[in-house]
Structure 1
């Protein structure tokens, strides 16, 4: 049995890995990876109804609210008033030096997710109701608040949530 020369064998190995490399290059960004500037990954929006609403396409946004994130573990503004049925583009702008994120949810779900992040700090997750924002960057969440109620947004990175990096969203019922 003869072996192929090392250069040919190496070429065949690389060729065999090409489909895997292409798949890895086209999958959505992980939770703590870099988002595309000014928005989420190019993958189609997954529209799954949540207690706090449903994902929307960016072109459906009625208005844009800029939420600034800083290393003093605060969001500005820290409270949003929304009308039931309104679609917002939440533009998270990280003006700090640390990675931050913004995740929308119920207080209970955010607390549980923050606890899980403490146990598994490298955990990757990417959902339409969250944005991971490297220092000096921005990212958008486009969301339809189709359920009235009181909800929250928070940075769930270990230590950030416990330091008070959270805000509130009041979705007022339609008149």
Structure 2
């Protein structure tokens, strides 16, 4: 039989594990202002600095479970101000990631629909409002924007993000110039 003394480390370990995952109750409340951004390198980039923004990109989310634009090209090392506008009547979000991480997180959202996540590569946007992500795409590759709210990802609310390395982009430019 487990005693209260035996349960304390178990409960503490579970709470620590949940905290390390960054999971919180979601509910319908609006998210408050973001706390100081923790810069943590991910496979798809790192939180950017406003002073380093090279361009702004508006991404519109709609209730037909689509992002506009549906595909974006970025140069490796580029810092974008992503202005995320919800043109729909329901809550949407934009989460940047690779396809594996997004699919895994979307599956968790289906199992735990009240889960909240707040990372610098995510924006939760109530209907008719806008949010902003400043992100440095410092890894070349193919990534995605996705809405991970239950049912949205499964309905195809995903956009492609191609981050080209400067070497690859200059080689393609040279090839296109030689063809002309």
Normalising by the smaller structure, the TM-score range is: 0.7 to 0.9
User: What's the secondary structure of 1:113's corresponding residue?
Assistant: helix
Report what 1:99 is aligned to.
91
Look up the match of 1:138: 130
CA RMSD of aligned residues (A): 1.6
Distance 1:81 1:74, change over 3 A: same
Normalising to structure 1: TM-score of the pair? 0.77
Measure the CA separation in 1 of the matches of 2:34 and 2:150.
27
- Distance change >3 Å, CA 42–CA 59, structure 1 → 2: farther
Conserved 8 A contact 2:61-2:86? yes
Gaps in structure 1 of 5+ consecutive residues: 1-28
Q: Aligned residues, how many?
A: 143
Taking a change above 3 Å as real, the CA distance of residues 79 and 30 of structure 1, as seen in their structure-2 partners, is farther
Q: Structure 2 unaligned runs (5+)? A: 1-23, 168-180
2:67 to 75, 98, 116: 75
* Contact 2:141–2:164 (8 Å) recurs in 1: yes
Q: Out of 21, 27, 30, which is 1:34 matched to?
A: 30
Which has the higher Rg, Structure 1 or Structure 2? 1
Q: Is the 8 A contact 1:35 1:139 kept in 2?
A: no
Aligned-pair CA distance for 1:62: 1.0
Q: Give how far 1:56 is off.
A: 1.1
Separation (CA, whole Å) in 2 of partners of 1:42 and 1:117: 21
1:148 is matched with which residue?
A: 140
Is 1:163 equivalent to 2:155 in the alignment?
yes
The answer to whether the 8 Å contact 2:25/2:114 transfers is no
